[in-house]
């Protein structure tokens, strides 16, 4: 990807949730809500504080994060739907869940 976000912005790829409940009920697309979890694809260099010093971001590429339902701006980069949002829109990092795919 040839896109670098500026300042304290991050690029997030939504992580799609399962289309089937644990009881085996298939959820149709019209009943699904947009996922509020994603994987950080790229991060900006950071924001500047009042003294003009660069403050690095707490997130890095590859982190799984939780964000607000209406956070970010949806964009299409290289044919992929992504979100660009400020670091402050991210509510937290999901620890210990690096792989979003389950073993079959």
Share of the chain above pLDDT 90, in %: 26
Look at residue 97 in the predicted model and tell me its pLDDT. 59
- 43-63 confidence digits (pLDDT tens): 999 888 899 899 888 899 999
Whether 1 is in a domain gets the answer no
Residue 92 in tokens: 């937290």
Whether 99 is in a domain gets the answer no
Question: Which backbone phi and psi does 2 adopt, to 5 degrees?
Answer: -110, 60
* Residues listed for the chain: 104
Whether 100 is in a domain gets the answer no
Q: At 80, which CATH number?
A: 2.30.33.40
Count the neighbouring beta carbons within 10 Å of the beta carbon of residue 97.
11
Between the CA of residue 48 and those of 10, 72, 100, what are the distances in Å? Answer: 15, 20, 33
Whether 75 is in a domain gets the answer yes
- pLDDT for 21 beyond 80: no
Residue 90 in tokens: 């991210």
Instruction: Provide the number of structural domains found in the chain.
Output: 1
Question: Which backbone phi and psi does 39 adopt, to 5 degrees?
Answer: -115, 130
Whether 63 is in a domain gets the answer yes
Whether 57 is in a domain gets the answer yes
Whether 54 is in a domain gets the answer yes
Whether 60 is in a domain gets the answer yes
Distance CA 51, CA 71 (A): 28
Q: Domain of residue 89: give its range.
A: 9-17+24-93
């Amino acid at each position: 990807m040839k896109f670098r976000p500026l300042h304290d912005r991050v690029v997030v790829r939504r992580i799609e949730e399962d289309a089937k409940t644990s009881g085996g009920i298939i959820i149709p697309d019209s009943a699904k809500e947009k996922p509020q979890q994603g994987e950080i694809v790229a991060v900006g260099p950071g924001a500047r504080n009042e003294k003009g010093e660069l403050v690095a971001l707490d997130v890095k590429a590859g982190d799984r994060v939780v964000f607000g339902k209406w956070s970010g701006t949806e964009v299409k980069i290289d044919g992929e739907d992504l979100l660009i949002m400020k670091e402050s829109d991210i509510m937290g990092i999901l620890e210990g869940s690096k792989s979003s795919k389950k073993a079959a």
